[in-house]
Structure 1
Amino acid sequence: MKIPILNPDSHSKIGWDILILILTIAITIIIPLIMVYHLPLSGFLLVFDILISLIFIADILIESHTAYSDQRELIRDKEKIMNRYMGMAFVTDLLAAFPFFMILSFFQNPLLLRIALLSNILRLLKLFRVKRTIGRIRNSKRLNPSFIRMSLLIFWILIAAHLISCAWMAIWEDPAALNPLNAESMYLRSFYWTVTTLTTIGYGDISPSTNLETIFVIIIELIGAGMYGFIIGNIANIIANIDIAKSQYQEKMEKVTTFLRYKNIPHDLKVKISDYYDYLWESRRGYDESSILQDLPKPLKTSVSLFLNRGIIQKVPIFKGANEEFIKEVILNLNPVVFTPGDYVVIKGEIGYEMYFISRGSVDVVSEDESIVYATLGAGSFFGEIALLLSAPRNATIKAKDYCDCYSLDKETFDQILVRFPEFAEKIREMAEKRRAETEEKQKKK
């Protein structure tokens, strides 16, 4: 059967990676406990061991048929994939998958059975895959890098604590031998000892009583001293990165507040400015769309802009029937703008130089004295196209009802676009004239 080359970011491959990750965590917990408690591999544990071998063998086949990225290029050539995989990755995967216990247990030799039991520790070689697997999942699901780093740090701390606890149980000679602990209590006390030792607390209520235990404790204390500083440093760094946008926002607000106080800005205006920045933080979390898009190459910028704004542009009647290139040019020249509640977006009678597309929020179309609300426009609506196209005065006053995220298109830019697409220029102007007549008719009726 011919196995197809898999995309590493496909849903099926990511699902398989998650399964391998879960099984890796499971065997990392179970195998050390089997060895410490000398549990026989029979019944459920034997079935589990066989199942693990079969899945890990299947994983070798899947990994050897998975494309990989080389300098952002997806390599799908089977020979190149095989050459890349047939190294340490293949060796560790093979050792982790090989059914040593099933083969050696057939000989019924006590020594071989002991070796077979010890060979299960080779399954833990799959731990070397954890970072790579998490990386694939993160790239596919676009998870927060700081969240992934924190999760990995906690994972490795818990795994290290578990393995050290199992090792301590294996050599620990319980001083309360006359009243031996049950399995659960023994593991719990071992885990407690591990945590207090690694965190350099070391209460001393559990202490070594043999030379072997003393040597082991010295080693773990040295490891703990290094781990403690490493963990604290990493956690501080991760938290700083998680909150970096918030920190930048707070720093900016301090500067704004200082400026407003220094210039004796009236209290009402201070509140309005503060509310504006709060809205920007709540709605955008500190990012500036224009600056982000500006850093992208034009093909990527076009793709992102089309994704964000195509729906808005396609709702505008005057743009219906326009070709793809015309739509792209319009979208690439949109500028984001925010209006606060009560702001006049356009005023009747003034010459208009922009049209607007509402992305979020709403505006009221009102009479000159604001006694009549002709209409309320929400997300996906547009206005100002008549003044933009015909260089005519605004025929209505429009006021922001609440915080309103819009995109503006200025007349100078739009005229340049029309020069490049003359076949649409006359058609668009005719439609604008028709729309102006319809709007004036509606206002007369009201």
Structure 2
Amino acid sequence: CCIFHVAALNTMYEDRESWVDDHGLRDDGNGMRYVFALYFAASTVTTIGYGDVRGISTEELVCQVFATIAGSCILATLITVIMSLVKELNASQMRFKRKMDLINTFLKAKDLPLPLQRRVREYFMFLKRYQLGRDDMEDEKYLMSELSSKLRQEVALHINAGIVRHAPVFQGADESFVA
């Protein structure tokens, strides 16, 4: 933006034709010309240019070429990053789906009772919901092992409070007993 504006100013001072003349801005202040230069930069970088503000002098054309190349590179990088994120998300979802398919096959093959099958599925859904895969569980074990025993107990109680409170064994028990 600034470089495109400076290129136009240099061209104007040498009394050569510029994009400023194309838009009747020679007699306007720097502010209006800068707004047009900002518009040029934004449209060039985000959409590879509309072409309504374009360089005329050599300096302006060089700026336009570099701005177009920079815009193309930024756009390509952005698309690559977004595609990477989508691919990783899809891969993670596919891994979980394969895991659940394997679990379902196992449960049916072993002819486990339906309530037990449901509990096993719910357990794996719980792990997914809280992102507790094998690696995460190893990290959690390591972090917990680094805590003092009292602090480890407090953290474990806080993390597992919801599970413990809903366990049938603790139904109706005093809150201080459960804690």
The 1:227–1:311 alpha-carbon spacing in structure 2 relative to 1, beyond 3 Å, is closer
- Asked whether the 8 Å contact 2:4–2:37 carries over to 1, the reply is yes
Q: Which has the larger radius of gyration?
A: 1
The 1:169–1:271 alpha-carbon spacing in structure 2 relative to 1, beyond 3 Å, is farther
Equivalents in 2 of 1:189, 1:378: separation in Å?
A: 68
- Asked whether the 8 Å contact 1:249–1:281 carries over to 2, the reply is no
**Deviation of the 1:200 alpha carbon:** 5.6
**Deviation of the 1:213 alpha carbon:** 0.5
Map of 1:391-430 to 2, 5 A cutoff?
none
Q: 1:215 aligns with which of 59, 62, 78?
A: 62
Map of 1:242-253 to 2, 5 A cutoff?
247-248=91-92, 250-253=94-97
Structure 2 residues not aligned, in runs of 5+: 9-17
- Asked whether the 8 Å contact 1:166–1:187 carries over to 2, the reply is yes
- Asked whether the 8 Å contact 1:312–1:381 carries over to 2, the reply is no
**Deviation of the 1:301 alpha carbon:** 5.7
Map of 1:13-32 to 2, 5 A cutoff?
none
Matching residue of 2:5: 169
Q: 1:360 aligns with which of 150, 162, 177?
A: 162
TM-score by length of 2: 0.60
Match for 2:147: what amino acid? V
The reply on whether 1:233 has 2:80 as its aligned counterpart is: yes
- Asked whether the 8 Å contact 1:197–1:221 carries over to 2, the reply is yes
Equivalents in 1 of 2:47, 2:120: separation in Å?
A: 50
Secondary structure of the equivalent of 1:207?
Answer: coil
Equivalents in 2 of 1:380, 1:217: separation in Å?
A: 73
Secondary structure of the equivalent of 2:147?
Answer: helix
Matching residue of 2:173: 376
Secondary structure of the equivalent of 1:376?
Answer: coil
Secondary structure of the equivalent of 1:223?
Answer: helix
Q: Give the structure with the larger helix fraction.
A: 2
Equivalents in 1 of 2:144, 2:125: separation in Å?
A: 27
Matching residue of 2:127: 280
**Deviation of the 1:206 alpha carbon:** 1.1
Give the number of the structure with larger relative contact order, counting CA–CA contacts within 8 Å between residues 6 or more apart: 2
Equivalents in 2 of 1:248, 1:177: separation in Å?
A: 56
Structure 1 residues not aligned, in runs of 5+: 1-164, 316-357, 367-372, 383-446
The reply on whether 1:203 has 2:50 as its aligned counterpart is: yes
**Deviation of the 1:207 alpha carbon:** 0.9
CA RMSD, 1 decimal: 4.2
Map of 1:431-442 to 2, 5 A cutoff?
none
Matching residue of 2:139: 292
Equivalents in 1 of 2:2, 2:150: separation in Å?
A: 53
- Asked whether the 8 Å contact 1:166–1:190 carries over to 2, the reply is yes
Q: What fraction of aligned residue pairs are identical, expressed as a percent?
A: 17
Equivalents in 2 of 1:233, 1:269: separation in Å?
A: 44
| CA deviation map 1:178-215 (0-9, x unaligned) | 674772x5444333322332346322111111121112
- Asked whether the 8 Å contact 2:48–2:71 carries over to 1, the reply is no
Matching residue of 1:9: none
Equivalents in 2 of 1:190, 1:380: separation in Å?
A: 71
Equivalents in 2 of 1:221, 1:271: separation in Å?
A: 57
Matching residue of 2:13: none
Equivalents in 1 of 2:177, 2:48: separation in Å?
A: 60
Aligned residues: 159
- Asked whether the 8 Å contact 1:193–1:202 carries over to 2, the reply is yes
- Asked whether the 8 Å contact 2:5–2:34 carries over to 1, the reply is yes
The reply on whether 1:302 has 2:145 as its aligned counterpart is: yes
- Asked whether the 8 Å contact 1:197–1:224 carries over to 2, the reply is yes
Equivalents in 1 of 2:176, 2:124: separation in Å?
A: 21
The 1:277–1:249 alpha-carbon spacing in structure 2 relative to 1, beyond 3 Å, is farther
TM-score by length of 1: 0.29
